[in-house]
Amino acid sequence: MLKIKKLSEVMGKRVFTDVGEFFGEIEEVNLVDNKVESWRIGVDRGIMGILGGARGVIVPHQFVKAIGDVFIINKSALPIREDADELMEEDTQ
């Protein structure tokens, strides 16, 4: 059974990648012809360095895997810098 959510219920939901990493929170939805085109996600401070200092990203709706208690997106949809793995290692040390 398809469960429909109101957009107002989705605002502020926590966003995780499909590999279980916390990414941020939903800030805004972009609509075109009454259909969801993309989502603006405010990123977590720990991820800002990986994204080159960006405070948020816009993720096309096609990369959203699930919307429920949390939002799940494909990690491959994120504009992550090529040296992100090195930055992640530095943050954990």
pTM (2 decimals)? 0.73
Confidence of residue 82 (pLDDT cuts 50, 70, 90): low
Domains of the chain by start residue, with CATH: 7-92 (2.30.30.240)
The more confidently predicted of residues 91 and 11 is 11
Mean pLDDT computed over 79-87: 51
Q: Residue 23 burial by CB count (10 A; 0-12/13-18/19+): exposed, middle or buried?
A: buried
Say what the pLDDT of residue 19 is.
87
Question: Is residue 81 scored above 70 in pLDDT?
Answer: no
Q: Which of 7-11, 35-39, 44-48, 58-62 has the lowest mean pLDDT?
A: 44-48
